[in-house]
Amino acid sequence: MTQTASGDIEALRAAMDGPVIAPGDPGYEEARTVWNADIDRRPAVIARCASARDVAAAVTYAQAEGLEIAVRGGAHSMPGASAVDDGLVVDLSRMRAVSVDPTARRARVQGGALLGDLDAATQEHGLAVPTGLVSHTGVGGLTLGGGMGWLTRQAGLTIDNLVSAEIVVADGRVLRAAADENPDLFWAIRGGGGNFGVVTEFEFRLHEVGPMVHFGLFFWGLDQGAEALRLIRDVVPDLPRSQGAIAATALTAPPAPFVPEEHHHKQGYALLLPGFGAAAEHQRVVDRIRAELPPLFDVVEPMPYVALQQLFDEANAWGLHAYEKAAYLTDLTDGAIDVLTEHAPGKSSPLSLMLFYRLDQTYCEVGEADTAFGGGRSPRYAAFLIALCPTPDLLVADRAWVRSVWDALRPHMIDVGSYVNSIHEPDEHRIRASYGPAKYDRLASIKADYDPGNVFHRNANIKPA
């Protein structure tokens, strides 16, 4: 049955400082739009919250009206968790403030902030939080599932640097979660996703990074795929902690100034190698790669850290049609390489690709049970198989391509679980596999304490015990 907001929407407007938008109101069409153009949902109410008090009012109202709740930070959820038909969207886009204490090396970040907001504020002091790769991603959604990117080998996941959080839970209370206050809730939100409430503020530990960093991009053609991936397999484990590493397959070289014209639109394989330590340390790796398997072209130069964080922004612009599947691989084994090289030419959109984040070093130094993160802490690759398409018809083809690659990789995966931020089609089996029995059961017990009615379920959902 279609749910609609009753005339009591005026009561919600009176209870909130931020605006409340309903169908037919000015700005409704823009307010309901999310990053993935494949998602087209029409909420009954959009509550643009300005404070934790507004969030509590919106959550209370939605339950009283029987409206399903979605939480929107950066609106970057690929499967559309931040949108809902006929329900209420808790929209945090007005809550984007970031304050930095450079002496204590702490940042306080409101729940609607984007990675770019966080980077800009922290880089004023030569500091950073380990986050993701696309600067218009929301801090909230990324953090709650784990958060991985260029700095993960050096400084761990985003959740490994979370000190405290302010969270509105299902009964409208505004709680602080930290090691010394509601520690069970603090454990759960570090990897348990949006299952436990709406986080309105994060407090992060900061690291010295930038403002300039070293960068290397090495590109090999389709016919060099097996050799390139074996080289990456050999080079990456030897990298110093100060260097990040992401491998890309089925990557189409853009018609950019740094790409020689004869390689524009050419498909192939790449290694992206940012360095946050000494220039000589980075150069030694560059020299090894060039000597062992000369790339078709490479780009090696210093760049601002904020530019590194925006490197994928244009290729992930708003308005693309997107689909994703993810997995963990112990290594780029010969069997996995055979699958990747066989399937790489099969994509239709030049933007679709497969990314492999190397997770080791600091990532592995956090205990398996220290956080709720849905992935083991042993050295591994996080694989992201991504369809990014300018038109819906291309998405049909590349969605099938992504699924075929994922199916072929299954024998080489650690298990059928994956990074919970990238579960596009949540099902209880995959979610349980991602966390494992002990973590899942503990999360379900905590869920029963803070959200017994499963109010927050538009996520990789953990049902209350």
| Domains of the chain listed by start with CATH number | 9-91 (3.30.43.10), 98-209+439-450 (3.30.465.10), 212-422 (3.40.462.20)
Alpha-carbon span 165 to 174, nearest angstrom: 10
Tokens of 455: 């109010």
Sign of CA dihedral 117, 166, 316, 134: positive
Q: With a threshold of 0.85, does the pTM exceed it?
A: yes
Give per-residue pLDDT as tens, 13-70: 999 999 999 999 999 999 999 999 999 999 999 999 999 999 999 999 999 999 999 9
Q: Are strands 207-208 and 127-128 parallel, antiparallel or unpaired?
A: antiparallel
Per-residue pLDDT band at 2 (split at 50, 70, 90): very low
Sign of CA dihedral 139, 141, 146, 148: negative
Q: Is 207 within 8 Å of 151 (Cβ atoms)?
A: yes
Output phi, psi for 410, to 5 deg: -50, -40
Give per-residue pLDDT as tens, 401-416: 999 999 999 999 998 7
Alpha-carbon span 69 to 19, nearest angstrom: 17
Query: For the packed helices 334-343 and 225-235, what is the interaxial angle rounded to 10 degrees?
Result: 140
Give per-residue pLDDT as tens, 302-311: 999 999 999 9
Alpha-carbon span 133 to 77, nearest angstrom: 14
Residue 44's closest CA among 101, 99, 93, 84? Answer: 84
Give per-residue pLDDT as tens, 60-115: 999 999 999 999 999 999 999 999 999 999 999 999 999 999 999 999 999 999 99
Give per-residue pLDDT as tens, 361-404: 999 999 999 999 998 999 999 999 999 999 999 999 999 999 99
Q: Collapse the DSSP code of 427 into the 3-class scheme (helix H, G, I; strand E, B; otherwise coil) and give the result.
A: coil
Q: Are strands 297-304 and 212-221 parallel, antiparallel or unpaired?
A: antiparallel
